[in-house]
Structure formats: structure tokens, C-alpha cells
């Protein structure tokens, strides 16, 4: 009986997915240059916005800029994958073959806190939003 019930649940989910025109895989593979509104702005390591030497990330359409003090900085170009108002955002690099189109970072937002995890090795960093 349980197997039959599971089959009906699975069939129901497929029907809902077909009606909505998407599957879970399709939704996860939508990539855009548009930065999510919830991610725009300045994010500083550990939320220490007054520390001029703290690492800072600034997200924009098509990528993000990183800063470490006044001397070290760079731009990372890529694409975002996310659902509307989602707390979980994927970011993949553009113009690279090493990742073969796979996400480089998984970004999770908890209000004014951002957790950036490198997908490949699981390295995690915490940033806080700075009010401009």
C-alpha cells in the first residue's frame, strides 16, 4: 500500500510540475546576470563595516567586486541562479572551463547576514550588510 501511495504522490508532483511548466532541475538551471535585489549592496566580513582593512563584497548585475583594504581588489564576472525572494543564491563564473558551468559559490542570506560557501571545497565565509 505504501508503494502505491508513493507512486500517486510522485505522479501528482509530476502533474503539478507539468502544469507549472518547470521541474526542480529546470528551476535550478536558470541563470541570469541580474543580481537579486536582496543581495545588492555592500557586505563586509563579519559585519565590521568600520574596519577599512576588512574584506568587502559589492554585488552588481553580472558579478561582484571584492576589496581587501585599499590595495587589493578585483572583479568577478558571472551569473546568478535563484528563485524570487529566495534566501539561497548560486553564483557561477563566466568565461571559465575549469568548473564546466557548475556553481562556484552558494550564497545564503539570513536578514543582514550573508554566508558564502565555496561549492567545491565547502569553505565558508560570513559577511554582514553595511547600511550606506
Using CA atoms, how far apart are residues 54 and 125, in angstroms rounded to an integer? 12
What domains sit in the chain, N to C, each tagged with a CATH number? 1-30 (no CATH), 31-129 (2.40.128.50)
Write down the pTM of the prediction. 0.71
Please give the backbone phi and psi of residue 117, each rounded to the nearest 5 degrees, phi first: -115, 130
Q: Cell digits for 53?
A: 582593512
- The answer to whether residue 23 scores a pLDDT higher than 50 is no
Give the model confidence (pLDDT) of 69-95 as tens digits: 888 999 999 999 999 888 999 999 986
Distances (CA, A) of 37 to 40, 55, 80, 81, 85: 5, 21, 12, 13, 8
Lowest mean per-residue pLDDT among 55-64, 100-109, 121-130: 100-109
Give the model confidence (pLDDT) of 43-79 as tens digits: 999 898 899 899 999 999 999 999 998 889 999 999 9
| Burial (Cβ within 10 Å: 0-12, 13-18, ≥19) of residue 64 | buried
Amino acid at each position: 500500500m505504501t508503494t502505491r501511495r508513493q507512486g500517486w504522490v510522485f505522479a501528482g508532483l509530476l502533474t503539478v510540475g507539468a502544469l507549472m511548466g518547470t521541474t526542480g532541475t529546470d528551476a535550478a538551471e536558470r541563470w541570469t546576470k541580474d543580481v537579486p535585489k536582496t543581495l545588492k549592496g555592500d557586505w563586509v566580513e563579519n559585519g565590521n563595516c568600520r574596519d577599512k582593512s576588512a574584506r568587502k563584497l559589492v554585488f552588481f548585475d553580472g558579478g561582484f567586486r571584492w576589496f581587501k583594504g585599499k590595495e587589493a581588489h578585483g572583479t568577478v564576472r558571472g551569473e546568478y541562479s535563484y528563485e524570487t525572494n529566495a534566501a539561497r543564491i548560486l553564483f557561477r563564473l563566466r568565461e571559465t572551463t575549469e568548473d564546466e558551468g557548475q556553481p562556484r559559490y552558494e550564497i545564503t542570506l539570513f536578514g543582514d547576514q550573508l554566508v558564502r560557501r565555496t561549492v567545491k571545497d565547502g569553505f565558508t565565509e560570513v559577511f554582514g550588510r553595511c547600511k550606506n
